């Protein structure tokens, strides 16, 4: 089995290539043991830390309880963060409704960010080697497991979907494990985290979902089909599909057609860079729908398509929108959404479609995401308008019901 030192060495090697600085072992080896209650380390402001924290704990299907727990002592390798906000992800919605990962009771929330208010003496840098101090803004990424295969990871070729993330780990004696809270303790062995003090709150809340799409676009680029002048279809205009549009636009791709059944979301996709929209409710049958896509591309099929829904019917349809020799990235099925029916001869073989799957992200994708968010702001792409509604922590049940009713786009829990 690979030990934690092996894992840290791999993380440092990968991240040093993107940052030019070697990450120290103390930054990525956060551990839940070795508590102390000494002064905070790292230059920065001092904070009055309460004795207890409030955590939104999913205790049953469709129901959170706001629980109060003692804030544990901050160990030498720990980081205590005052939570500013956290987005509600589709994964949170799945857990709220069905608990597919069998985690209840669990402190959810993985699209979070906040301010470091206390840190152990061994924590000096983030996982990319960037200095870290009390008062800095932070986001978490993966929690690497002690996996024997991790010694063979090439993060350009294999994702880290088998790793854990804060907000999707079983409850334990610390309890402060998810971002749906007012404090979170970053302290598990193998934790990775980034200093994002140069981004505003809304941008930081969007980092995790944007990283999912950065990874998908990198997977798409590996086909060598997605190019500057490609005609690209994006099916599904939830937050994931809309972020996909924004990323493609920042890459300079100007022929983007979105497909969805929600007119309001289709209209918003234009603000992010879509040049044409197709409402599938306006068409009777796949042939008519395919013609609708072609019409938006001036009589052509797509060179490349992104399938961003969890609908088996959506997956079956997407092949029809793609030209012979085109490409497809399927990223909509984060969990098992059921089987899809395709005809391999007509849909793949005779058209020679190149298909890639995409799931989660790598550490390198996080660094790319930071630059994407800055580029979107520079290019006046209103990516932050994805966050349409904000709720207080005490109203988290209402926020989830609001999200499930699709009354907004990205819903966030924001603390005062």
SS3 at position 15: helix
DSSP codes of every residue in 297-362: TTS--EEEEEE----HHHHHHHGGGEEEEEEEEE---SS--------HIIIIITTT-EEEE--S--
Angle between helices 239-250 and 363-378 in degrees, nearest 10: 70
Measure the CA angle with vertex 222, ends 127 and 226; round to 5°.
115
DSSP codes of every residue in 353-406: -EEEE--S--HHHHHHHHHHHHHHHHTT--GGGGEEEEE-GGGHHHHHHHHHTT
- Provide the 10 A C-beta neighbour count for residue 385: 14
Q: Locate tokens 């979301």: which residue?
A: 265
**Per the structure block, which two tokens stand in for 381?**
């792409």
Q: Looking at residue 347, what is its pLDDT?
A: 96
Closest by CA position to 354, among listed 316, 325, 312: 325
Cα(348)–Cα(106) distance, rounded to whole angstroms? 41
Indicate if the alpha-carbon torsion angle 70, 74, 78, 82 is positive or negative.
positive
Q: Looking at residue 7, what is its pLDDT?
A: 47
- Provide the 10 A C-beta neighbour count for residue 67: 16
pLDDT less than 50: residues of the chain: 1-4, 7, 10, 14, 17-39, 151-153, 156-157
Q: What is the DSSP letter of 227?
A: -
pLDDT digits (tens, 9 = 90+) for 314-358: 999 999 999 999 999 999 998 888 999 999 999 999 999 999 999
Q: Looking at residue 251, what is its pLDDT?
A: 95
Quickly list H helices, 119-206.
201-205
Quickly list H helices, 70-200.
90-98
SS3 at position 137: strand
Q: Which residues pair with 87 in a beta bridge?
A: 111, 412
- Domains in the chain (CATH in brackets) are 4-198+384-414 (3.90.180.10), 210-357 (3.40.50.720)
Helices and strands, counts by H and E, the chain = 12, 17
DSSP codes of every residue in 251-294: TT--EEEEEES-HHHHHHHHHHT-SEEEEGGG-SSHHHHHHHHH
Q: Which helix (H) or strand (E) holds 68?
A: strand 63-70
Contacts by 362-365 with C-beta closer than 8 Å and gap 24+? Answer: 362/14, 362/155, 362/156, 362/159, 362/160, 362/215, 363/11, 363/14, 363/15, 363/127, 363/141, 363/142, 363/155, 363/160, 363/192, 364/14, 364/15, 364/18, 364/155, 364/156, 365/211, 365/214, 365/215, 365/218
| Prediction pTM value | 0.87
DSSP codes of every residue in 31-49: -S------PPPSSS-----
- Provide the 10 A C-beta neighbour count for residue 19: 17
């Amino acid at each position: 089995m690979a030990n934690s030192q092996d894992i840290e060495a791999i993380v440092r090697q990968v991240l040093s290539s993107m940052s030019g600085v070697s990450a120290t072992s103390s930054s990525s080896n956060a551990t839940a043991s070795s508590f102390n209650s000494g002064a905070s380390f790292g230059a920065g402001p001092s904070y009055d830390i309460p004795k207890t924290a409030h955590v939104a704990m999913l205790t049953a299907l469709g129901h959170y309880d706001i629980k109060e727990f003692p804030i544990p002592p901050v160990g030498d390798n720990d980081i205590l963060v005052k939570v500013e906000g956290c987005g509600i992800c589709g994964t949170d919605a799945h857990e709220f409704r069905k608990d597919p990962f069998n985690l209840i009771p669990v402190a959810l929330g993985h699209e979070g960010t906040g301010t470091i208010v206390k840190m152990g003496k061994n924590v000096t840098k983030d996982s990319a080697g960037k200095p870290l101090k009390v008062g800095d803004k932070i986001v978490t990424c993966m929690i690497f497991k002690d996996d024997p295969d991790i010694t063979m990871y090439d993060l350009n070729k294999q994702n880290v979907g088998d790793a854990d993330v804060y907000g999707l780990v079983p409850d334990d004696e610390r309890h402060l494990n998810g971002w749906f809270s007012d404090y979170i303790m970053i302290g598990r062995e193998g934790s990775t985290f980034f200093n994002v003090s140069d981004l505003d709150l809304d941008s930081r809340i969007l980092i995790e979902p944007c990283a999912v799409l950065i990874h998908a676009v990198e997977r798409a680029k590996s086909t060598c089909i997605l190019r500057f002048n490609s005609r690209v279809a994006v099916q599904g205009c939830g937050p994931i599909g809309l972020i996909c549009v924004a990323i493609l636009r920042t890459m300079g791709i100007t022929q983007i057609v979105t497909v969805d059944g929600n007119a309001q979301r289709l209209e918003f996709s234009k603000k992010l860079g879509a040049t044409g929209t197709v409402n599938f409710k306006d068409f009777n049958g796949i042939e008519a729908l395919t013609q609708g896509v072609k019409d938006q591309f001036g009589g052509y099929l797509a060179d490349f398509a992104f399938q961003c829904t969890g609908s088996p019917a959506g997956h079956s349809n997407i092949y029809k929108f793609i030209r012979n020799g085109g490409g497809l990235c399927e990223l909509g099925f984060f969990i098992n959404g059921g089987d899809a029916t395709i005809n391999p001869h007509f849909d793949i073989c005779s058209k020679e479609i190149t298909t890639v799957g995409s799931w989660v992200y790598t550490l390198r994708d996080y660094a790319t995401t930071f630059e994407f968010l800055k580029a979107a702001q520079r290019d006046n792409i209103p990516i932050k308008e994805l966050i349409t509604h904000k709720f207080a922590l005490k109203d988290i049940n209402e926020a989830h019901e609001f999200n499930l009713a699709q009354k907004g786009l990205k819903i966030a829990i924001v603390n005062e």
